[in-house]
Amino acid sequence: METRLLWFCNWSVLGVCATLKLPQIFAVLGARSARGISLPSLLLELAGFLVFLRYQCYFEYPLLTYLEYPILIAQDLILLLCVFHFKGDVKRAAPYIVLYVSAWFILTLQKWIIDLAMGLSTTRVSWVPTRQQPLTPRDRNLCTFISAASKFAQLQYLWKSRDSGAVSVLTWSLASYTCAARIVTTLMTTSDLTILIRFVIMLALNTWVAATILHYRKTDVKSE
């Protein structure tokens, strides 16, 4: 039973993430506008995804527990280009892309860099057999803070504009599901508290953003 549940969660997450950002990309292309989408939110989300993926790769976690992240990063990069395009200057995306590519290599030049990026302390876990063991959190998780900041940036943008614009509620709802599924897979495989805390926080914030989008969409309908 546990094996089947783990299999379902892993593959359903991969299936959902393969198309997670497509509703948002199509919404932007259809509206020919990035109205409602927070650029700081997108940039912070990309940074959080990048650090998290590098952490998982570095400590050689099971591939199926993080395989969706390369897919999400690729889709976010496409969305980033779309946002800059409709804001009038797609070339402005180039410095950010260079920064992200550079960060991928810099993060693992020294182990303390990836530890610092994840905001970890000195308590070790025992399951990792290959590399020097990762650290579990004591006070804070910088990677999770970055990702949480991206959600708050989107929330703040929605609160300020009171307009959901071209923001896709489907994308944020699917993101909530992937976090819930990853809570299950983390508990069943690595039990890494750092990762577990991240997914719990992301689940709450993704759900909050989706609810906020629906709230302002209903408000727009009523005003019409």
**Collapsing DSSP states into helix, strand and coil, what is residue 60?**
coil
Q: What is the pLDDT of residues 154-173, one digit of tens each?
A: 999 999 988 888 899 999 99
Region at 191 (left for phi over 0; alpha for psi -120 to 50; beta for the rest):
left
Q: In this predicted structure, what is the pLDDT of residue 222?
A: 56
Above 80 in pLDDT, residue 194?
no
Which residues lie closer than 8 Å to 72 by C-beta, 6 or more apart? Answer: 17, 20, 21, 49
203: closest CA among 216, 218, 184, 190? 184
| Neighbour tally for 99: CB within 10 Å | 14
User: Is-contact 167 38, C-beta < 8 A?
Assistant: no
The arithmetic mean of pLDDT across residues 98-126, rounded, is: 73
Q: Which helix (H) or strand (E) holds 71?
A: helix 68-86
38: closest CA among 176, 172, 140, 182? 172
User: Is-contact 198 141, C-beta < 8 A?
Assistant: yes
Above 70 in pLDDT, residue 204?
yes
Q: In this predicted structure, what is the pLDDT of residue 220?
A: 58
Task: Report the C-alpha gap between 73 and 56 in whole angstroms.
Answer: 14
Cα–Cα–Cα angle for 142, 133, 62, rounded to 5 degrees: 85
Tell me the CATH class for 137-223.
mainly alpha
Q: In this predicted structure, what is the pLDDT of residue 119?
A: 65
Distance from the Cα of residue 196 to its chain's centroid: 14
User: Is-contact 122 112, C-beta < 8 A?
Assistant: no
Q: In this predicted structure, what is the pLDDT of residue 97?
A: 92
pLDDT band at 136 (very low <50, low <70, confident <90, very high): very low
User: Is-contact 18 193, C-beta < 8 A?
Assistant: no
Least confident piece of the model among 1-10, 43-52, 96-105, 214-223: 214-223
pLDDT band at 125 (very low <50, low <70, confident <90, very high): very low
User: Is-contact 137 146, C-beta < 8 A?
Assistant: no
The CATH 1.20.1280 portion of the chain extends over 137-223
